[in-house]
Amino acid sequence: MELLELYILKSASLLSMLYLAYWLTIRNGSKYSLNRIFLLISLVLSAIVPILSFIPKDLVSSNYNNILEPLVINADFVPANTVHASNTLSLIAIIYIGGTTYFCLRFFSNISRIFYLYYRFPKYEFNGFKAVILDTDQAAFTFFSLLFISRSDYESGDSKEVIVHEKAHRDEYHSIDIILLEIMTIIQWFNPFLWAFRLSLKSEHEFIADNKVLKNGFDKILYQKLLFEKASGITSLNLTNHFNHSLLKKRLKIMSTQKSKSKVNVKYLLSIPFIILVFSLFAANHNSYAQLNNNADVDVNAEYLDGGIDGMRTFIARNIKYPKTAYEKGVSAKIFVQFIVDEKGNVTNIEINRNDKRDNVVDEIVVSTKKSKKSLEISSESLKDLEAEAIRLIKLLKGFTPAQKDGKNIKSLIILPIHFMLEEA
């Protein structure tokens, strides 16, 4: 769960920084297709790049548990009836899941609405489209190769500008952008920059389509008048590109403004340093994790703050509990929990290491208690409870003095085996 939270936060941060780069440089540039490409690439990279900063699962180095000595904890059984903290939904988690569920339902509701309109109303071939003729006073909109248009516009025959506009949306595959936006909205609905990003990308779609109409020789004044007339049309679904009043004032202003080609080029050149800076920050973050591969000869290992190994032994003895489900089923297992001690000595990135390649991990903590019967079969439920208890314990640790190399504090990855062992009475 922590990795997912970390991914979401990193993805939101990257999207926000890339949008700021767009906003500060090229948002008023007249190369609308290039603006759209920049935003689209930003959307994709914000989903992919954060994954690269995660530590590989098989990352093992000989210094990981030099701070640990073999610890044997002979504890009387204390049944853990409470659900582990990592499995308990916090208020923030509940709000996030609620928002994600809402936008997920909204996404499928919009898809369902499009299918409903498609099967509810008649369809005809119309100016290169498969057109769905709506009985409502609906502003025309496209969804991939489908054109949804009101009957009045269809029968009037006076909709050439509308058709050219909607063909631009279709031919530029703007519906793919919209689908990606909706997926990202489900994940990052809490991010205010995401909503600004949505508006900007959809705006670039409209600017591209408007520009296509004017390049086809249609009169600018008549086209602007048509936009005014359609401004009263019913707003379409979030999943569609539509011919309506969206950003009407800005669209009309753009059509009436001549851009200086030299100034436009400068704007795009200025965007390059921002992009380099953004990716440098993420690369530095990734490299700091990658350094964990080369920390075998650290000068000083990380050490538990509250009394070192003895303090950790005391802390574990007082706080660890044998999960009730595992105890009742007589389950014993060795759990490998890994975490990072950062440059400030904080414990971060706690997770279970299920990799079999742990040649250098030799120290372990043994949690032992008596039980009359042993189970030869480990249930997934019991194993998860044991893993949850191991993670809970690490979260309670008060902190470490960070590892050092060449006089500088560095991150270090620690893999801590905790052996939950039941002995026959």
What HEC string does 264-284 produce? HHHHHHHHHHHHHHHHHHHHH
pLDDT tens-place string over residues 132-153: 999 887 778 899 999 998 888 8
pLDDT tens-place string over residues 67-88: 344 444 343 444 444 444 444 4
Strands 71-74 and 129-134: unpaired
Domain ranges (residues) in the chain:
71-88+298-423, 89-257
Above 90 in pLDDT, residue 106? yes
What does the alpha-carbon distance between residue 243 and residue 206 come to, in Å, rounded to a whole number? 8
Contact of 21 with 271, CB cutoff 8 Å: yes
Compute the mean pLDDT over every residue in the chain, rounded to the nearest whole number.
76
What does the alpha-carbon distance between residue 160 and residue 377 come to, in Å, rounded to a whole number? 72
Residue 328 has what pLDDT?
78
pLDDT tens-place string over residues 296-351: 567 788 888 887 767 777 787 678 788 878 777 777 777 888 888 888 888 888 88
Above 60 in pLDDT, residue 100? yes
Above 50 in pLDDT, residue 62? no
Above 70 in pLDDT, residue 114? yes
Query: Taking Cα atoms as reference points, which of 417, 197, 208 lies closest to residue 316?
Result: 417
pLDDT tens-place string over residues 367-385: 555 554 444 455 677 788 8
182, 193, 208, 231 from 238: Cα distances, Å: 8, 18, 18, 17
Above 90 in pLDDT, residue 186? yes
Query: Taking Cα atoms as reference points, which of 216, 227, 217 lies closest to residue 252?
Result: 227
Mean pLDDT over residues 180-197, rounded? 94
What does the alpha-carbon distance between residue 261 and residue 280 come to, in Å, rounded to a whole number? 30
Mean pLDDT over residues 267-292, rounded? 65
Mean pLDDT over residues 31-54, rounded? 86
The owner of tokens 């952008």 is 177
Contact of 212 with 166, CB cutoff 8 Å: no
More confident residue, 58 or 176: 176
Above 80 in pLDDT, residue 225? no
Assign residue 308 a region (left: φ > 0; alpha: ψ between -120 and 50; beta: otherwise). Answer: left
3-state secondary structure of 369: strand
